[in-house]
């Protein structure tokens, strides 16, 4: 690396936790070379955006950011602008043609090459593209540079083979592949040595994990055995791969959190079929009940798309009806956004923006009601809360999460960040719980 030219870099992350973890990898690679990270664009010699393509509005944000970076570059010609991640994969031709000031375009499987490509660009000042997807790259033996916090993201598999008809991920991130159990364990042990107490196992399809016959349940047990791991979470699973064995493993270990993100997408069998989701509403409902049977206090969250092509009002009501039957603790709800390469984009029966918006509004009202209802049921219960940070609203209070992933605000007392403390829940306001630490217990 020609460090006389590039001394400081900025790196901004858009999108999912997988991108956060990938940015930590890139930061690890660059800081190992002696480069310094900065949040100040004025002093950066290179600015990288790690991008997301899941919905059109994610891309819009990056396009507008790139417009700002272009202005900075006009006064600072040596500035290197890099687009990393899913949009690089998806929009390389568009970027090359319409944004020639973007110097480096790197897909999610090409991060190891970042030092070489910076060098090449510094030498010949030409835009460089590397978006080749790999069947094997899992970034083994690279240790991410993590911020000073309690939770370490650990990527265990990459890519997705499910091809839900709405989703661009199989095209931007390529085929499924898993890391070895040994390398995951080694990384978790290192993270614990560095002081991290919570481990979140990550993958586009985390429970499709399979390495030489070892399943996701096997991996969870192995991580759970590591000394010093206070909490384990994982995201995002596919309902098809949530089975009783996995739930029993979760229930059997104290340090595996009682929380499942369970993406429903729709409650209509016709829509699920056109989405290529491979399960029915009946199966989804039965599994949700199984989760609560095996882990009675399990937190359940979901993802739902409204306005998928052809979704009738009746089919939308079936989704509301299934939400009512299950009652999720929280839901991430999205208006369907047509994505290039996907099957659903080709469907001819797209739904108007107005209808999507009114369905989304109705769904949000229902979800808010469920969240409040479930949170109110927790008032008077005792919860183990892992203190994560200072409350945004008061420096006399901590914010932490229950095992089941609910936020709780408590007074500071003598506790500290990373402590797990017993708390009695005293109040529920919307998505937030308030509680009192039980001292001397």
User: Is 219 strand, coil or helix?
Assistant: helix
Using CB under 6 A as the binding rule, the residues of this chain from 196 to 225 that contact ligand SF4 are 204-205
Judged by beta carbon distances under 5 to 8 A according to partner kind, the member of ligand SF4, ligand 5AD, none in contact with residue 383 is none
- Residue from 163, 332, 341, 382 binding ligand SF4 (CB under 6 A): 163
As beta bridge partners, residue 417 has none
With CB under 6 A as the rule, give the number of residues binding ligand SF4. Answer: 10
| Rounded distance between C-alpha atoms, residue 34 and residue 1, angstroms | 9
Q: In what order do the strands lie in the sheet with 231-235?
A: 151-155, 198-202, 231-235
Q: Around Cβ 110, how many Cβ atoms within 10 Å?
A: 21
CA distance 34 to 7: 8
Pairing of strands 299-306, 231-235: unpaired
Residue 163 site contact among ligand SF4, ligand 5AD, none (CB < 5 to 8 Å, cut-off depends on kind): ligand SF4
Residue 354 beta carbon to ligand SF4: minimum distance, rounded to whole angstroms: 25
Task: Kindly report the number of other CB atoms within 10 A of residue 242's CB atom.
Answer: 21
Report the candidate in 399, 403, 363 with the shortest Cα–Cα distance to residue 383. Answer: 403
Stretch that binds ligand SF4, among 10-18, 102-110, 160-168, 251-259 (CB under 6 A): 160-168
- Which residues from 238-297 bind ligand 5AD, rule CB under 6 A? 263, 265
Nearer to ligand SF4, 86 or 117 (CB): 86
202 binds ligand 5AD (CB under 6 A): no
Among 8, 120, 162, 350, binds ligand SF4 (CB under 6 A): 162
Distance (Å, whole) CA 260 – CA 288: 9
Question: Near ligand 5AD by CB under 6 A, which window of 25-33, 272-280, 329-337, 390-398?
Answer: 329-337
In whole angstroms, how close is the CB of 322 to ligand SF4 at the nearest point? 18
Strand runs (DSSP E) across 73-208, as ranges?
80-85, 104-106, 128-130, 151-155, 157-158, 177-178, 198-202
Chain centroid, CA 30 distance in Å: 23
Q: Does 35 interact with ligand SF4 (rule: CB under 6 A)?
A: no
Q: Least Å distance between CB 400 and ligand 5AD?
A: 25
Coil/strand/helix, residue 206: helix
Q: Phi and psi for 298 in degrees, rounded to 5?
A: -70, 135
Binding mask 42-61 for ligand 5AD (x = CB under 6 A): ------------xx------
> H helices of 11-55, where?
17-32
Q: Does 292 bind ligand SF4 (CB under 6 A)?
A: no
Q: Which of 110, 204, 337, 402 binds ligand 5AD (CB under 6 A)?
A: 337
Footprint of ligand SF4 (CB under 6 A): 160, 162-164, 167, 169-170, 204-205, 238
Footprint of ligand 5AD (CB under 6 A): 54-55, 166-167, 263, 265, 303, 305, 334, 336-337, 339
């Amino acid at each position: 690396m020609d460090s006389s030219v590039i001394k400081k870099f900025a790196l901004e992350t858009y999108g999912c936790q997988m991108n956060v973890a990938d940015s930590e990898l890139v930061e690890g690679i660059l800081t190992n070379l002696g480069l310094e990270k900065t949040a100040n664009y004025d002093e950066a010699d290179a600015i990288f955006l790690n991008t997301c393509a899941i919905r059109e509005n994610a891309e819009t944000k990056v396009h507008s950011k790139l417009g700002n970076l272009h202005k900075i570059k006009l006064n600072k010609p040596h500035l290197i602008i890099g687009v990393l991640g899913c949009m690089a994969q998806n929009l390389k031709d568009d970027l090359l043609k319409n944004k020639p000031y973007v110097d480096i375009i790197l897909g999610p499987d090409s991060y190891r090459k970042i030092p070489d490509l910076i060098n090449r660009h510094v030498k010949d000042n030409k835009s460089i593209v590397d978006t080749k997807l790999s069947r094997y790259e899992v970034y083994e033996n690279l240790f991410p540079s993590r911020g000073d916090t309690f939770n370490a993201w650990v990527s265990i598999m990459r890519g997705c083979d499910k091809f839900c008809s709405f989703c661009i991920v199989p095209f931007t991130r390529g085929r499924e592949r898993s890391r070895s159990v040994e390398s995951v364990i080694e990384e978790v042990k290192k993270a614990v040595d560095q002081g991290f107490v919570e481990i979140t196992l990550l993958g586009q399809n985390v429970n499709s994990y399979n390495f030489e016959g070892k399943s996701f349940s096997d991996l969870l047990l192995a991580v759970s055995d590591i000394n010093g791991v206070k909490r384990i979470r994982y995201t995002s699973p596919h309902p098809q791969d949530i089975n009783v064995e996995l739930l029993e493993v979760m229930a059997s270990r104290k340090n595996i959190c009682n929380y499942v993100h369970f993406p429903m997408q729709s409650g209509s069998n016709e829509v699920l079929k056109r989405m290529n989701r491979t399960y029915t509403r009946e199966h989804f409902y039965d599994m949700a009940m199984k989760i609560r049977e095996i882990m009675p206090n399990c937190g359940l969250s979901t993802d739902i798309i409204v306005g998928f092509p052809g979704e009738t009002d009746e089919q939308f009501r079936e989704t509301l009806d299934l939400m009512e039957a299950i009652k999720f603790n929280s839901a991430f709800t999205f208006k369907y956004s047509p994505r290039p390469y996907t099957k659903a984009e080709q469907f001819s029966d797209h739904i108007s923006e107005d209808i999507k918006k009114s369905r989304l509004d109705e769904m949000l009202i229902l979800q808010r009601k469920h969240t409040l209802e479930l949170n109110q049921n927790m008032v008077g219960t005792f919860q183990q809360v892992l203190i994560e940070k200072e409350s945004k609203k008061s420096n006399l209070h901590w914010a932490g999460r229950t095992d089941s992933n609910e936020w709780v605000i408590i007074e500071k007392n003598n506790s500290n960040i990373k402590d797990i403390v017993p708390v009695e829940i005293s109040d529920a306001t919307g998505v937030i719980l308030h509680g009192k630490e039980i001292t001397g217990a």
